[in-house]
Structure formats: C-alpha cells, structure tokens
A and B are shown apart, each in its own frame.
Chain A
Amino acid sequence: ASSTLNEASNCIPVAPIFLPEGPWKEIPGGVTAAKGFKAAGIYGGLRATGEKPDLALVTCDVDAIAAGAFTTNVVAAAPVIYCRHALDNSETARAVLINAGQANAATGDAGYQDALECVDTLAMLLNLKPKEVLIESTGVIGQRIRKEALLNSLPRLVNNLSSSAEGAGSAAVAITTTDLVSKSVAVESQVGGTKIRVGGMAKGSGMIHPNMA
C-alpha cells in the first residue's frame, strides 16, 4: 500500500502554495496532517486516458463536525445535491469519496442513483451509515460515473488508507483532472494555547469561477 501511495503521489508535480504570512508554520501532510484523518488515492480505471490516480478517499477516525460549501449553479451535479441533503440532516461525517474522470453532472435521476450506490457500498466497507459518507465528483460534464470500475476499486482504496503524507499526496493527485500540479498544504498553529493543525487539498484548473454557499 505504501508503495502504491508513493507512486501515486509522484504522478504529477506538487503546486507551489502561496501561504499568507502569519503565526502558523507550514508542515507536511495535507489532509492527513490533523489528528484522526487518513487518506488514499489510487487508479480505479475511471479516466478516459492514462493511468493517473482517479479515486480518492479521506476518512476520519471519529465523527467529524462537517461543513460544506457548494456551487450555487442551479444545474448542480448529483454529488452536490446528495451532499447538501446529507449535511442538512447530519452535523457530522466520517468519509469523503472523490472521483475524477466523470463529473456526474447533468446526468439526471440515473446519475443520482449512481451517487447513492457509491455511497452505500463505501459505507458498507467502512462499517458506517450512508449518511456519514460524502461524495464529490469532477471530470467531464454530462457523463455518468464509471460505476462498475469505481465500485470494484473501493476495497483496494479502503485498504490503502493511510495517515501518512503519502496518503494525503496520493489523494491530492487522484482528484486532479486537467491540473498540471497537485495542490496540498497543511499548517500548525496555536488555538487557545493548544497546538492544532489545519490541512487541505484542492483541485482546479478550468471552469473556475466559484460562487459557493
């Protein structure tokens, strides 16, 4: 698993991160820098071409307080509709599944069912309730997820989960589409005199003019 994650995280270069100046210190680890988080990114056969990782998972060992900001585009993708609903009904989440390759947007009821099936299968593998699993998709608009490939890859994805920086790096690569670099960062700082960490990963290169609420 370690070797797989290492290879995955080296698929494309890492982006320069222009952190504003402040009392924080940049540290390695991205989404896994904070306590309780694991991540993985693998190739699951979703992309049209190439074998860059295309399936990422971030999990939390405990019920994490969850927040979301979503596109205000009226034509929202199935995962966006699903997540809005999930966060309306639950304050916490335990896992986020992300696929690259197909956006599952403008795919109608069938696309929404695909999203539900992916959530249900992952929840079963992680011994979670479906409402504790969130999902994001990116890729070609108008195409449904390559569901069979995704579902078949989930056990391997779960087995690759790691709290290491490689786990975070591989996940950051797996969510990219036309990105030339992967985007991942973490900082350590003090809150009320206690050391805390905030980390993150992102993707994006085109169709970028967010207006999230």
Chain B
Amino acid sequence: TMLGIITTDALVNTDVWRKMVQIAVNRSFNQITVDGDTSTNDTVIALASGLSGSTSISSLASYEAIELQSCLDAVMQGLAKSIAWDGEGATCLIEVTVTGAESEVEAAKIARSVASSSLVKAAVYGRDPNWGRIAAAAGYAGIHFLQSKLCIRLGDVLLMDNGQPLAFDRAVASGYLRKAGEIHDTVGIHISVGEGSGIGRAWGCDLSYDYVKINGEYTT
C-alpha cells in the first residue's frame, strides 16, 4: 500500500485544487510500480490551508496555478520515487524516461509498462543490459509507435537505435547496472519512440529474491 499526505499554505479554490492534485498524482504516484499489485488502500490526501497570504488561485490556467502545480508535482514525484527506491527487496531505483510519443499520456503509459515488467526488473537485478525485454515491454504498452523509430539507452550506453540492436560494450552496460545496485542508486532507461513532443516518466525497482522472502513471511 502507498499512502500520502500533502500540505500547503497556498490559497486555492476547491475545484482547482482537486484537479491539480489529480494531475500531480498522475505524474508521480500513478507512475510508480514495485510489484504490479494495486492495493486496496492507496490514498493521497492533500490539504491547503491558505495561510501563506498568497493570492487566491481560481483558474487552472493562471500563472499562479502553473507555479503551484510545478511545486506539487515536485513534492509528489520526490515522494513517489522514494517509494520505488524503497521497494521490497530492491537494490536500485529504475527511472524510465520515454520521449517522442504523441502525448504525455502515451509516453507515461509506455514508461510504466517498461517499469512494470517483471522481466526487465529481473534483468536489472541480474545486471543484464537486456534491450530485448525493454523493447518488448514498450511494445505491449498499448500505444502505437513504429518499431523502426525505437531507440533504447541504458545510462549512457545506447543499446538500440532506430529499431536496430547495436554492438554495445556489454561489460560497460552491465557494470553500470552493477554499480547502481551496489550503492542503491538509480538506473536510467531512456526510450525514444518517434518525433512527437510527449515525454513521460515512470519509476520502479529491480526484482530480487528478497521480494519473495519478505512477502512469504508477511502473512494475513
């Protein structure tokens, strides 16, 4: 289960605040995954006291709303990423960035598909730069893109370009994964699917033996 409480002293009306919170949730908590199980209890409650003395925000399109939205996004993304980082049994955080999609929503969906893949997660734990599993998970996300436009980069190592696997340095790519795992750092998977302006991110973690151990012992 994930729970979140967000507070602010900005002054904002109810309709705008509720829309802003859902937008931020979609850009953060709804973009994380640890094990693919949706809890019965997931909740985010966000409270705005209005005590800062700021001018009241009554339009989502106002400059002030955009400023507050960016703060809200930042706080929720910071917290969401820390949940993925702390995933049960995880040795590293996985950040999947998708660019070139037709929209933010499409990019986000592809990113989460890759972050959710048990095979990608297991490959990261196995320190295996497995571009095929990443490509497959992007492909079944339910978003159309041309395979010939698919590019995949792991950290700084380009694994696939324009749909063609490259002769990358396997030791370097594997070492990147190993180092991240040793210090519980972040593994970056960058995927480009075309020339669209849609950018989306999702966060997950690797899948280790400890995940099964923890949940085999956490009984109902």
Is A129 part of the contact surface with B, judged by Cβ < 8 Å? no
Q: Evaluate contact between B9 and A197: CB separation under 8 angstroms.
A: yes
A57 to chain B, nearest CB (A): 10
Q: In the complex where A64-B47, A75-B40, A202-B83 touch, is A20 in contact with B71 (Cβ < 8 A)? A: no
Q: Evaluate contact between B55 and A199: CB separation under 8 angstroms.
A: no
Is A110 part of the contact surface with B, judged by Cβ < 8 Å? no
Q: Evaluate contact between B10 and A17: CB separation under 8 angstroms.
A: no
Q: Evaluate contact between A183 and B86: CB separation under 8 angstroms.
A: yes
Q: Evaluate contact between A79 and B79: CB separation under 8 angstroms.
A: no
Q: Which residue of A lies closest to B205 (CB)?
A: A208
Q: Which of A77, A104, A197, A213 contacts B8 (CB 8 A)?
A: A197
Q: Which of B22, B73, B83, B211 contacts A20 (CB 8 A)?
A: B73
Q: With the chains together, A138 CA to B43 CA distance in Å?
A: 10
Is B78 part of the contact surface with A, judged by Cβ < 8 Å? yes
Q: Evaluate contact between B22 and A213: CB separation under 8 angstroms.
A: yes
Size class of the A contact interface (CB-based, 8 Å):
35 or more
Is B21 part of the contact surface with A, judged by Cβ < 8 Å? yes
Is B77 part of the contact surface with A, judged by Cβ < 8 Å? yes
Contacts of B38 in A (CB 8 A): 71-73, 207, 209-211
Contacts of B71 in A (CB 8 A): 22, 24, 187, 189, 191, 196, 198
Q: Which residue of A lies closest to B56 (CB)?
A: A192
B117 to chain A, nearest CB (A): 12
Q: Evaluate contact between A98 and B5: CB separation under 8 angstroms.
A: yes
Is A123 part of the contact surface with B, judged by Cβ < 8 Å? no
Q: In the complex where A16-B85, A62-B51, A202-B4 touch, is A191 in contact with B10 (Cβ < 8 A)? A: yes
Contacts of A69 in B (CB 8 A): 21-22, 25, 29, 43-44
Interface residues of B in 31-52 (CB under 8 A from A): 32-52
List the 3 closest A-B pairs by CB distance, nearest first.
A204-B2, A36-B49, A208-B34
Chain A contact residues, CB within 8 Å of chain B = 15-20, 22-24, 31-37, 58, 60-62, 64-73, 75-77, 79-80, 83, 91, 93, 96, 98, 103-106, 134, 136-143, 171, 175, 177-181, 183, 185-187, 189-192, 194-213
